[in-house]
Amino acid sequence: MTHLLHRSIHATLPVAVSGAGIEITDQTGKRYIDASGGAAVSCLGHGHPDVLAALHEQLDRMAYAHTGFFTTEVAERLADMLVEAAPEGLDHVYLVSGGSEAVEAALKMARQYFVETGQPQRRHVIARRQSYHGNTLGALAAGGNEWRRTQFSPLLIETHHIAPCYAYREQKDGESLEDYGLRAAQELEDKILELGAEEVMAFVAEPVVGATAGAIPPAPGYFRRIREICDKYGVLLILDEVMCGMGRTGSLYACEQDDIVPDLLSIAKGLGGGYQPIGATLLSRRIFEAFANGTGFFQHGHTYMGHPMAAAAGVAVQTVIRRDHLLDNVRAMGNFLSAQLHEQLGQNPHVGDIRGRGLFMGVELVRDRETKEPFDPALKLHARIKREAMERGLMVYPMGGTINGRSGDHILLAPPFIVTEKDVETIVNRLGQAIGAALSTISS
């Protein structure tokens, strides 16, 4: 009998015992290609010698020093590295332990900013349907994924949701992608006006939607229009790059490709590559100055924020990415992965859409390609594909269909930045087999 809740609930999961490169090995010796990086975390793969060496070195020196008493060189170094590469204007970093904490901190920074600047009436948060921002109560409230929220709804702060930018389902016949993007962005302005602009605090969005909808990139110009609308009404723009940031889409920050700078930006996952739990919130100068000229500090904090071991992992992972020019590989292998998915899966009558950016790709499955009708969610096609993939030694990230009645089942791919063409071919081949096997269990 186990006392670990995770095992008690998921009795059939294999036990991971070791990891090397792009593979994890279980207790029977079976190897799995980590084609999802867990949940878009393991950007350098497993057991990277340079990261292990940096962690040993930090551990020998000092594991922990509380931020109430000290700052540390390693945390300051990581903040410097993040700001040096960040879009102009984001020049302060708040280090936390993961993605939910990074989003939670961004929401509270937005609120404190308006209190410090004499606009305490600004309290409304606007976010998008089909989004995920984390599982703490504030981040969960921002997320637009109903099944995660329902039972906790009495505990959640009121958040207002607009449509995601989801061209596959929402673009109209004859409408250009650019026009669709502008139409989708218009929902933000409409919602701000409906709520009363002077009471709206922030808009929160993932530049490339991840776990809830399988790597949906925005339409060209969508985020530029979102930025204009936020500026027009004095609303803060919070970008959640917890999943899509830190190089996953081919640029260190995903928003670089949309040519905008947010007021607050949350990162995690690939920041430490899974070697340590770490997240961060980057904030703009004007928010920092509001704190500095007001209360003098950000009224928040966690015991493990700025943890030296986590910061050491962040510095090591980010150093390897720069030194080995891994973003070049993300772009090249991302193009190759996209081409392979189209070539090997594109003809499958149940593959409705293949999309993404860099090594962040999604496949949306549908019952009917013409009408885009999803499969019955009760069939749990995504879970069947995951099971069949695991059988074949492949980890992919599944997500259920008809989220809010608006999409098919999804499979998300987010392999480590070190993948080769051969790895990509194997990944897509095994995925194709898993999809075929899962579909046959439904029709038989």
Task: State the residues that interact with ligand PLP by CB under 6 A.
Answer: 39, 98-100, 103, 132-134, 206, 210-211, 240, 242-243, 268
Q: Which residue has the tokens 């389902």?
A: 169
For residue 145, give both structure tokens. Answer: 């994924």
Q: Which residues pair with 32 in a beta bridge?
A: 24
* Closest CB to ligand PLP among residues 156, 437: 156
Nearest distance in Å: CB 398, ligand PLP = 13
Nearest distance in Å: CB 210, ligand PLP = 5
* Closest CB to ligand PLP among residues 90, 209: 209
Nearest distance in Å: CB 240, ligand PLP = 5
Nearest distance in Å: CB 282, ligand PLP = 14
Chain-centroid distance, C-alpha 186 = 24
DSSP 335-390: HHHHHHHHHHHTT-TTEEEEEEETTEEEEEE-SBTTTTBPPPGGG-HHHHHHHHHH
Nearest distance in Å: CB 6, ligand PLP = 14
Nearest distance in Å: CB 275, ligand PLP = 14
Strands (E), 156-220: 159-162, 200-205
- Residue 154, burial from CB neighbour count under 10 angstroms (0-12, 13-18, 19+): exposed
Q: What's the farthest any 2 CA atoms get from each other in the chain? A: 67
CB count in 10 Å sphere of residue 67? 16
Which secondary-structure segment (H or E) carries 266?
Answer: strand 264-267
Amino acid at 245: G
Q: What is the spatial distance between Cα 9 and Cα 20, in angstroms, rounded to a whole number?
A: 28
* Closest CB to ligand PLP among residues 39, 379: 39
* Closest CB to ligand PLP among residues 217, 428: 217
* Closest CB to ligand PLP among residues 211, 427: 211
* Closest CB to ligand PLP among residues 46, 269: 269
Looking at beta carbons, which residue is closest to ligand PLP?
99
* Closest CB to ligand PLP among residues 33, 239: 239
Nearest distance in Å: CB 135, ligand PLP = 6
Q: What is the spatial distance between Cα 153 and Cα 148, in angstroms, rounded to a whole number?
A: 9
* Closest CB to ligand PLP among residues 22, 242: 242
Nearest distance in Å: CB 133, ligand PLP = 5
For residue 132, give both structure tokens. Answer: 């995920």
* Closest CB to ligand PLP among residues 276, 340: 276
Nearest distance in Å: CB 300, ligand PLP = 16
Strands (E), 72-188: 90-96, 124-128, 159-162
Nearest distance in Å: CB 209, ligand PLP = 8
Chain-centroid distance, C-alpha 258 = 16
DSSP 376-427: PGGG-HHHHHHHHHHHTTEE-EEE-S-GGG---EEEEE---TT--HHHHHHH
* Closest CB to ligand PLP among residues 116, 206: 206
Classified as helix, coil or strand, 94 is strand
| Radius of gyration (C-alpha) of the chain in whole angstroms | 21
